[in-house]
């Protein structure tokens, strides 16, 4: 089968039953996508499929032909980090870091769909990504900062 990941085409020998997380990590070297629970609960493995935040640990390859898969390695823009990445750095969000690629992929997909969220919407959108280090206050602040940066950029472009 042929899969498109971060804009590159990959030929993959598989019957479609393998889960995306293991193709990414074990075969293609996209180890920024993390294994947490393996059961679709924690969000550590989140990637984008056609722009939608998707848990790669429960997504079989058969569901992905013809779709655009994006991992944390492909989130940055041509000459700059994605505003979500920049905000997570600026606010020194991570502690151990294990959950962070999933947090950022969830936040980026959320802000693409809702560029001007209120606090409650941020909490709801990020609420199913778990952080065992408890960085939730900084995660929320970073999503707020990224939303502001994206809004400012739209103003400049308008």
Binding site for ligand FES (CB under 6 A): 35-38, 40-45, 55, 57, 94-100, 131-133, 135
Output the smallest distance, CB 150 to ligand FES, in A. 23
In 3D space, the residue among 87, 130, 132, 138 whose CA is nearest the CA of residue 111 turns out to be 87
Give the nearer residue to ligand FES in terms of CB position, either 126 or 150.
126
Six token digits for residue 147:
């939303």
- What's the closest the beta carbon of residue 158 comes to ligand FES, in angstroms? 36
CB of 132 to ligand FES, least distance (A): 4
Tell which phi-psi region holds residue 51, choosing left (phi > 0), alpha (psi between -120 and 50) or beta: left
Whole-angstrom distance, CA of residue 156 vs CA of residue 151? 9
| Cβ closest to ligand FES, residue 38 vs residue 74 | 38
Q: Among residues 101 and 150, whose Cβ is nearest to ligand FES?
A: 101
Closest approach, Cβ 15 to ligand FES, in A, equals 21
Distance CA 136, CA 71 (A): 22
Distances (CA, A) of 14 to 20, 58, 68, 116: 11, 16, 18, 41
Q: Is the distance from CB of 17 to CB of 64 less than 8 angstroms?
A: no
The Cα–Cα gap between 1 and 64 comes to 10
Nearest residue (CB) to ligand FES, 132 versus 153: 132
Residue 38 beta carbon to ligand FES: minimum distance, rounded to whole angstroms: 5
Q: Residue 12 or residue 19: which is nearer to ligand FES going by CB? A: 19
């Amino acid at each position: 089968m042929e899969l498109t990941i971060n804009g590159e085409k990959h030929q993959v020998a598989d019957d479609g039953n393998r889960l995306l997380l293991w193709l990414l990590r074990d075969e293609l070297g996209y180890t920024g996508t993390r294994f947490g629970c393996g059961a679709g609960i924690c969000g550590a493995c989140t990637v984008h499929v056609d722009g939608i935040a998707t848990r790669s640990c429960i997504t079989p390859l058969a569901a992905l032909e013809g779709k655009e898969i994006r991992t944390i390695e492909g989130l940055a823009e041509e000459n700059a980090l994605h505003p979500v990445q920049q905000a997570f750095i600026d606010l020194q969000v991570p502690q151990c870091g294990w959950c962070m690629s999933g947090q950022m992929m969830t936040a980026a997909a959320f802000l693409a769909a809702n560029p001007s969220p209120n606090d409650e919407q941020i909490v709801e959108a990020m609420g199913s990504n778990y952080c065992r280090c408890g960085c939730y206050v900084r995660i929320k602040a970073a999503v707020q900062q990224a939303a502001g940066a994206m809004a400012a950029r739209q103003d400049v472009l308008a």
